[in-house]
Structure 1
Amino acid sequence: MDQAKSDEFYSRLREQLEQSTKWPSKYLYKFIVPTDPEKIKQIQDIFDNTGAVIESKKSKNAKYTSLSITVSLKNPEEVIAKYKEVGQVKGVISL
């Protein structure tokens, strides 16, 4: 995603979160990751010490792993910061 599209996406997401959610709140992240223990660990480390509940499930052919991460956050800025951190991990798809 190029920078302009990325900024536009996060701006729209921030607006939606401010309108639809009372903060602080629990937020559910969903990611699809190639089934690579190192990539999965990188994402788990991003949410380490946040009290996040992480559930993982491999695809039928075990090529990909879906991660559902529920975590309490203070505001939309924290939600976006985590998306940006996870976005640094190669091959991750955010849903």
Structure 2
Amino acid sequence: MSKENAEAFYKKLKIKLKDTSNWPSKYLYKFIVPSKPQKIKQVEDIFDNMGAVIQTKTSSKGTYTSVSINVIMANPDAVIEKYKEVGNQVEGVISL
């Protein structure tokens, strides 16, 4: 995704989050990462010390791992910052 497309996406997401939730609120992040322990740990470490509940599930072929993170976030800006942090730090991640 180009930088312009990413910014437009995050702008729409912020509006949607403001309109559909009261903040602070529980938020469910879902990421798909290559099934390499260091990649999964990178995602988990980004949410460390936040009281997040993290669940992982490996794909049937073992190529990818789904990482679901349930965490209380302060506001839409905090949600978006975490998406950006994961995207910038974890190579090959797909955000859902």
TM value normalised by structure 1: 0.98
Structure 2 match to 1:34 = 34
C-alpha distance in 2, partners of 1:21/1:49?
23
1:13 alignment partner in structure 2: 13
The number of residue pairs the alignment matches comes to: 95
Ranges in structure 1 where 5+ consecutive residues have no aligned partner? none
* Aligned counterparts of 2:45 and 2:67: Cα–Cα separation in 1: 13
Q: CA RMSD in A?
A: 0.5
Structure 2: unaligned runs, 5 residues or longer: none
Question: Percent identity among equivalent residues?
Answer: 58
Structure 2 CA distance, aligned partners of 1:30 and 1:45?
Answer: 15
3-state SS of 1:17 partner: helix
Residues in 1 aligned to 2:68 and 2:43: alpha-carbon distance in whole angstroms:
11
* 1:23 equivalent in alignment to 2:23: yes
Q: Which residue of 2 is the match for residue 90 of structure 1?
A: 91
Cα distance in 1 for partners of 2:11, 2:61 equals: 36
Q: Supply the distance in 2 between the matched residues of 1:74 and 1:85 (Cα, whole angstroms).
A: 16
CA distance in 2, matches of 1:29, 1:38: 19
How far 1:75 sits from its partner (Å)?
0.2
Point out 4+ residue stretches in structure 1 off by more than 3 angstroms.
none
CA distance in 2, matches of 1:85, 1:32: 15
Equivalence map 1:29-68=2 (5 Å)? 29-68=29-68
Q: Secondary structure of 1:31's match?
A: strand
CA distance in 1, matches of 2:70, 2:19: 20
